[in-house]
Amino acid sequence: MPAPTLTPLTGGNGIALTAARPGPDLAAVGWSEEEYAASGTARAADPAHGEAPYTTRVVVRRPPAASASGTLVVEWLNVSSGADAAPDWTYLAEELVRQGHAWAGVSAQRGGVEGGTGAVAVEGLQGLKDVDPARYGGLDHPGDAYAYGIFTEVARAVADLAGAERVLAIGQSQSAYTLTTYLNHVHPAERLFAGFLVHSRGDVAAPLGEPGRGIDLLAARAAGKPTPVRDDLDVPVIVLQAEGDLLGRINYLPARQPDGPLLRVWEVAGAAHADLFQIGEFEAFLGCPDPVNRGQHAYVARAALRHLDTWARGGPAAPSAPPLEIADGVFVRDDLGVVRGGIRTPVVDAPADVVSGDAGPDASVICSLFGRTLPLPAGAGERLWPTHEAYLAAYAAATDAAIAAGFVLPEDREAVLAEARPPTPA
């Protein structure tokens, strides 16, 4: 397809991109942040729907040329809330900045541009054209039949803009469903991306979409069947799953597949689909019955990106990880309630409380995605950690074990150690 035209977007209220947690100070490290209207023609994933013109937006954050790594990481922006969000930027920003990877967030789906009901709609969030007509009124999305083509063409245009040597695709939650479809149906023809981080997907793949409409993911899940990633991959893929993604609402388990030559499936013990790292100071607004998950999902996500970039450059493959232990359709847990198996982080191997991907039976839809954090059983803290020094020593040892296994980065050691906390009384 002809390359889309990138035109700077200005005016209105500035860049609209939902994020509860502030990221790094880009100006302080010499990075630029720009927003463009991307206009072109996209091919539908289903050939029956042909091609359509579009004008969408893309946010581009990149380092000075002298410190650029040559990698562009392109995030399929998430529209589950009814507005564009960049959950993987939130998790990965520290790693992106320290490695010098450029990042682009693409409004690939109709809902983020034109508005509509999200899969987990949040009151007050809207599509770009409604939230800021002065800035975004010229956008025009032809429907999610063309979302896959839009993602490809805009990523290609930004790669040219940034002078990228390789392009990686990432997406979390609903965007992971669409990346699964992209891998299975679009990538074999386009072959633009050098690697994929498919983050917190469910059991099915997203549909190919219809003209003039957004993807109805809930309907697709009700009618679909478990869909693994294709087994003839030609680029590295890491499927990163939280404990909370395996069962319940997300229910990845029926699509679980073994590692392959170019596939790694990582399952993180004690992690939820979303967590305190994502929501930050806005936790109280969720109204959840228990404190949300305080796991260490973010650090494992950063390690996944590091391994994916190395692998895509021709370096060593990412390490394999043991699966979470499941028997008869339920997690196998220890006497504290911590799941067994999977990728281990200090909060599960040196616990001061019990972090879980399960929010409990009375949680709302959105709270079910945020898991929970419960006190240790009565007397367990005293039994496990007779002194605070004993706890800190065990926590440090667990941190170093996670680093040695490749699931936490050495650069994150101090940040992980800073999350040690006194045991919570029951």
What tens digit of pLDDT does each residue of 240-251 get? 999 999 999 999
Separation of alpha carbons 131 and 12, rounded Å? 10
Separation of alpha carbons 173 and 290, rounded Å? 22
Separation of alpha carbons 208 and 186, rounded Å? 10
Output the average pLDDT for the chain.
94
Q: Distances from the Cα of 134 to the Cαs of 39, 125, 138, in angstroms?
A: 18, 17, 9
Q: Distances from the Cα of 346 to the Cαs of 245, 271, 421, in angstroms?
A: 20, 12, 11
What is residue 220's predicted lDDT score, i.e. its pLDDT? 82
Decide if domain 5-235 falls under CATH 2.40.50: no
What is residue 218's predicted lDDT score, i.e. its pLDDT? 83
What tens digit of pLDDT does each residue of 252-262 get? 999 999 999 99
Report helix, strand or coil for 299: helix
Token pair recorded at residue 59: 């946010």
Going from N- to C-terminal start, the domains of the chain cover 5-235
What is residue 23's predicted lDDT score, i.e. its pLDDT? 81
Whether the full predicted model's pTM is greater than 0.85, yes or no, is yes
What is residue 21's predicted lDDT score, i.e. its pLDDT? 72
Q: Nearest to residue 95, comparing CAs of 276, 248, 308?
A: 308
Q: Which residues in the chain land under pLDDT 50?
A: none
